Structure 1
Amino acid sequence: MLHVQALIPVALSTLFRISAYLFLQVIPSPILAIVLPIAFSAWIIALWMLPSPSERKEESDGKAHPTRTATVAPFHYHSFGRLIEAQVYVESEDIVLNILLSLPSSSRRVRWVTNAINIALFLAAAEFLCTPFLDSASDIIFTRVGAVYPDNVKIVARYPPIDDITQSIRIIWREAPKSGAQEISWHDGPLFNFDENRDWVDVVRIKGLWPNSHYEYSLATTNGTLLPYPSTPIKFHTFPDPRLPSGNKFSFLVSSCMTTNFPYLPFQGRRIKGYDLLSNLLYPKDSAYNSTTDTDVAASKTLTKERSMLPEFLLFLGDFIYADVPIYTGSTLEDYRRLYRRNYQSSSFRKIYERLPIFHAYDDHEIINNYAGDGDDLKPPFPNASDAFEIYNANPNYDSIHESHYYYDFRYGDSAFFVMDTRRYRSSATDDLSARVMLGDAQLAAFYNWLSRANDTAVFKFVVTSVPFTTLWGHDAATDSWAGFPAERTSLLQAMHSVPNVIILSGDRHEFAAIEYNHDSLHTVREFSTSPLSMFYIPLYRTLKMQGAEVVTRIKHRLNMTNEGPEYITVEEQIPAENVFKYIPSGNYKWSTIDVDTTDLEMPVLRLKLTVDGKTAYSYTLNGTPIKLHTSTALGVFVSTGIKDMFNKIGIHPSKWF
């Protein structure tokens, strides 16, 4: 006779399978990382302790039914003080259903398949969990472009002593050759100083460059021998001089949050699918972008046209690594550095960082979930976490106006950017939210100073924050995003309302939202929050409200036709002070492409295109407020390309005079 306990393995198997699916395909939660081994172990124990279904079947009727699976279980209940026993039959001839639901079966083959599925799921979860510990990526070699200026550029590289290469390594660079042009000789650049204490990573500058020009670099030994990596030169484009009044037309990318191999696929521990999708869209013909010599004129023109449409850089707004998801990998220096190395060794990421400058902010998962530093640089685990971030992502960024800090600002022509540090100085959670601050005194002063300078020297002003500025997201965003810092947020928003064309860029929430902040008389501020680039999103569960409770009153003047002729009437309307005008929560792979066109200062335009899972999901056009810029003259305004070439030939570099 089959006992009720026979259903225990079914329940445990079902719990394990649901947990495994959620863990590997939906959200790699630390809670599920604990549930999985417990449920799997309990299922194994239950199978071992209970008799097999075939034995139970023989006990129940003494007959075998090769074409039918059947189980019999007693059901006990009390009636008027008497114990009554009934038998409950669970029968199924559907083998697929049996396997899917882990139902008991007298078929040995079905039981083997059922057990094999659970074992395979357990091994998959184990691979996903263990790979960050087992894959040290200690031999990774890479180089990429960091901060780009009109006349210089930062280059970061990692080159450990591999293959007996122990001598000094230097940058060699030149202007990117044009089709049919005379071969351009290489210039010796600065030497790298690779050191084990910095995990064999160093950053150097190439100086004396021309604004708005194309260059390429490679790596060589001090005697001029090219190193095997990179196999082809890395190309880059210097930014236009911000003092020139000609206006600019360019695009850039923005996103945040990425991890390797999620949603999970077997034996793909180094893949970051979001970057694969991005690369496929930006560089569909890899060979065209890896070629250093274009002999065909038509191909050269096509390549130039394609390059002109490519983004100039990627703004990555934090959670570059997940030190605590699905489990905390550890707090040592090596624990954090290993996660950065693993990302840089990814061929998916390499296809992007070897072609596109990347400027970084950081958020909590580079440290630990919902981290608040309180301005204490010795607060664990910040020292080791910040060391790894600094080596790999912060040093290649633009220099902060305050040494050894991670907030910074930069310009692309007449567009200005301020990238915040929202973790190092923020107050810990407290009952009095009005007392909390996020930026700290020095950063707050730097931001206000930047906003004042950008007011009449830049058309669009981009405020970059790793966490959303909006108060409309719920759950932990109520305290972890700017919603948890109401006093400081209110002051910042009031200042931004006074400046035209302010755009806030944020990430963190693994969703996309476009929000507008309205004022009764000042400028509207807009926020675009985009994430994840390659990570989980949560189906069904939503915490974003579509608008806030506060309203503002705006006065509009409308033209009204009367018998006596046209007249203007004044109309008051109430609108939300904070309002979501687009919300797209779904998608594991999201990034926004932002096109900026300020070539007509009377009609500056910003266009946003959201890409979700490789397809365009939303487009938006913003007609900016015309700005009369305060500009200064520069030599580059008057120097033509021909004169520039002549200067180059005689060894004069006018870009140094800027």
Structure 2
Amino acid sequence: MAANLAIASSALSTLYRIVVYLFLEVAPVSKAKYVIPLLYLGYLLTSYFGAPAFSELVTLKEEVVTVEEEKSETNGQVVTDVTVQEATAVIPVVEPPTLKSALSIIIFSIPSPVRALRRANFLINTLLLLAVADFVFFPYFDSATDVVYTRVGAVYPDAAKIVVRYPAANATENLIRLVWRQKGGKNESEVPWREGPVANLTAERDWVQTVSLRGLWPSTQYEYRFEGLNSTLLPYPATPIHFHTAPDPRLHSGSHYRFIASSCMTPNFPYLPLQGRRIKGLDLLADYLWPSESHSTAPSLPTLLAQNVSSVVSSLAAKVTSSANSTSAENVTAPAENVTTPSSVASEKNVPPTEFMMFMGDFIYADVPIYFGDDVEAYRRLYRRNYNSPSFRKVYERLPIIHTYDDHEIINNYAGLGNTSLPPYPNATNAFELYNAEANYDPVDEGQYYYDFRYGEAAFFVMDTRRFRSDISSDEPSSHTMLGDKQLAALYNWLGKVNNTAVFKFVVSSVPFTALWTYEALEDTWAAFPYEKSALLSAFQSVPNVIVLSGDRHEFAVIEFAAGDGGHNVLEVSTSPMSMFYVPFIRTLKPRSEEVVNRTKEEVVKTEDGKEEVVKVTEEVPREKVLKYIAEGNYKWSTIEVDTRDYDHPVVRVETVIDGTPAYRLDVLGKPVKLQSTTALGSLMPESFRGVLDKIGLKPSRWF
């Protein structure tokens, strides 16, 4: 019996270690937090009652003893008589283990008579349990109630939204003033600070406030800091925070900039001991964006880039030149370039600045690895924890970030049914609104989380894919909606407005638009909403240069939606996670759809008399096709470079970085768009300047 328990102990210990590894390093599946303690308890019990069996696992050694005797005869002669006696002794001996066997015992929890090895196994399993407890409960105990931070959200040509959290001790409110000034010029240090809006921080709102700084100039650098109402400079931030206003889209002068797109992150996954606040994906992003300031002990990214930058720049230049000579410019996807050399191209003078980051949902994981409840504080704690991360601070203090939300800001696979009072939506969105949504661009409809904005010659529509989502288990599929009537109307209206007023149109969906993903596709993606998706796709394909950005799947893929004759192809770039798990070995993306579209192409054929003529041929192509799929990697983001300086050949360049290394590049050549513009001088004049003219007695409103 004891021997059987010893074997059971070994089996339970091995299974326990496998489950712990999967939970901490592969995927933090919620059910594992219940399985792991049970396995550990089973291991302890079987180890305790199986301990006597270890004393029997010894080597038996036999010894044989031979004895000689001498005898004398009575007649005086000596006779030697040898008598052999055998004595057998059985002696238990414990053989000392070799280094190889000792490692096998520790790694595979093999039963051992050596007490030190049994204790080592117990210590390892106990440390693993403590690691699980650290990962699961650290978010609860690390409440981050004292975190102080500020960041920039939406930036307009003449304004910016700024978030600040500054708790006050032994008080219920804290009034602080934002002061700002323009950067640049020879005597920048002599430029006076100007008083900005006052933030009214209260305990009720968790000491968070978003203020708007207005009266700014387009494409201009500014900096800000905070003071008390008595003009005393506050200790945070230690140095002023810088930001750059958006270009004026009415100038149509062409723009060249980059932005980051990704989603899904949680601190300290994959798990490392005593790293509860680290978000490694954001450390890698900071090194990518600002490599000269990296303090990593690994070989610096700029050094690695220097070995290959010439070839990369030459390749990009060749592609642009090729596109300039192309006769067809409509969503042509240039051959993708697989890159294996680390690159920090942000430092190169030919690469434009990164202006903002689009975070596409799952900013927190309210229910992974454990759900602490649906009260407001439970959700707010997770947002504070992220903003308390030194990894995230390196990014949000330098890069404006705008957000949408997905299910894990609420609970897994959440469908709102258009009911804003349905728990846990009210408390979950209270935290999302305070920390993220209020700093977004103003919503299309008041009180909603979907919004649109312009940046240069690109237009963006950010969807809310959770609040109005239908319950797909009821009613007919034709009645299922992802967006709801009001949001859908706003999206169609936006498409009509930007058709001839923007070159590139980015539609942001927190979940993939394609139906090629299989696992949990109906619970998450647009696959469960075929009628609404089909109608939207038709609308997208009636407008040139539409690119869908999505996240959620913890994988990367580029999907091409083929259009029929007269339509425009649509591209989807799906990127995640920013810093979270991916599932190895299992692949859930189909390479193409079974549904096809008919397209007409021209071919040159020879006639019977040997002449050549052009004929039209109809071909069938998949409606949805994968151009690139990369599942591996815990840390993924895509850099989207928008270049509209040449209106005849606009281009979007996609660079996807996985685990800190550029892994894929793609050029998307846009169709030229003749932008509608205004000739009114007043449309180019900031409101702040009009106000100055009004004060001196001039009335610009009469001029324009």
> Superposition pairs for residues 90-489 of structure 1, below 5 Å?
94-162=101-169, 168-178=175-185, 181=188, 183-286=190-293, 309-431=352-474, 432-489=476-533
SS of the residue aligned with 2:436? helix
Distance 1:636 1:252, change over 3 A: farther
Give, in angstroms, the shift of residue 556 of structure 1. 1.0
Query: Which residue pairs with 1:526 in the alignment?
Result: 571
Q: Distance in 2 between matches of 1:170 and 1:304?
A: 34
Distance 1:163 1:275, change over 3 A: farther
The residue identity in structure 1 corresponding to 2:225 is S
Give, in angstroms, the shift of residue 63 of structure 1. 4.7
Give, in angstroms, the shift of residue 635 of structure 1. 4.4
SS of the residue aligned with 1:103? coil
Query: Which residue pairs with 1:538 in the alignment?
Result: 583
Give, in angstroms, the shift of residue 305 of structure 1. 7.5
Decide which of 67, 79, 82 is 2:95's aligned counterpart: 67
Distance 1:560 1:182, change over 3 A: farther
Please report the TM-score for the alignment, with normalisation by the length of structure 1: 0.89
The residue identity in structure 2 corresponding to 1:510 is H
Judge conservation of contact 2:291–2:347 (CA < 8 Å) in 1.
no
Distance 1:303 1:482, change over 3 A: closer
Q: Distance in 1 between matches of 2:585 and 2:610?
A: 58
Q: Distance in 2 between matches of 1:27 and 1:652?
A: 65
Judge conservation of contact 1:479–1:485 (CA < 8 Å) in 2.
no
Give, in angstroms, the shift of residue 59 of structure 1. 11
Query: Which residue pairs with 2:56 in the alignment?
Result: 56
Please report the TM-score for the alignment, with normalisation by the length of structure 2: 0.83
Gaps of 5+ in 2: 62-89, 296-344
SS of the residue aligned with 1:395? helix
Judge conservation of contact 1:282–1:310 (CA < 8 Å) in 2.
no
Give, in angstroms, the shift of residue 49 of structure 1. 2.1
Judge conservation of contact 2:257–2:354 (CA < 8 Å) in 1.
yes
Over the residues paired in the alignment, what is the CA RMSD in angstroms?
Answer: 2.9
Query: Which residue pairs with 2:666 in the alignment?
Result: 620
Q: Distance in 1 between matches of 2:168 and 2:47?
A: 52
Give, in angstroms, the shift of residue 549 of structure 1. 0.3
SS of the residue aligned with 1:410? strand
SS of the residue aligned with 2:284? helix
Q: Distance in 2 between matches of 1:354 and 1:93?
A: 51
Query: Which residue pairs with 1:78 in the alignment?
Result: none
Judge conservation of contact 1:257–1:532 (CA < 8 Å) in 2.
yes
Query: Which residue pairs with 1:631 in the alignment?
Result: 677
Q: Are residues 1:608 and 2:608 paired?
A: no
Q: Are residues 1:43 and 2:56 paired?
A: no
Q: Deviations over 1:420-469 (max 9, x none)?
A: 00000101132533321010111111100001101010100000000000
The residue identity in structure 2 corresponding to 1:501 is N
Query: Which residue pairs with 2:544 in the alignment?
Result: 500
Q: Tell me which moved more, 476-485 or 12-21.
A: 476-485
Judge conservation of contact 2:555–2:631 (CA < 8 Å) in 1.
yes
Distance 1:209 1:97, change over 3 A: same
Judge conservation of contact 2:251–2:684 (CA < 8 Å) in 1.
no
Aligned residues: 618
Judge conservation of contact 2:517–2:590 (CA < 8 Å) in 1.
yes
Q: Distance in 1 between matches of 2:240 and 2:467?
A: 37
Q: Tell me which moved more, 628-637 or 148-157.
A: 628-637
The residue identity in structure 2 corresponding to 1:552 is V
The residue identity in structure 2 corresponding to 1:158 is R
The residue identity in structure 1 corresponding to 2:544 is P
Q: Deviations over 1:483-519 (max 9, x none)?
A: 0111111111111110010000000000001001112
Give, in angstroms, the shift of residue 180 of structure 1. 5.3
Query: Which residue pairs with 1:72 in the alignment?
Result: none
Query: Which residue pairs with 2:20 in the alignment?
Result: 20
Distance 1:639 1:418, change over 3 A: closer
Q: Distance in 2 between matches of 1:638 and 1:388?
A: 37
Judge conservation of contact 2:346–2:353 (CA < 8 Å) in 1.
no
Give, in angstroms, the shift of residue 330 of structure 1. 1.2
Q: Deviations over 1:512-543 (max 9, x none)?
A: 01001112111101100000000000000111
The residue identity in structure 1 corresponding to 2:517 is W
Distance 1:163 1:620, change over 3 A: farther
Q: Tell me which moved more, 130-139 or 45-54.
A: 45-54
Q: Distance in 1 between matches of 2:697 and 2:129?
A: 65
> Superposition pairs for residues 578-657 of structure 1, below 5 Å?
578-633=624-679, 635=681
Q: Distance in 2 between matches of 1:586 and 1:430?
A: 32
- Identity value in percent: 52
Judge conservation of contact 2:167–2:174 (CA < 8 Å) in 1.
no
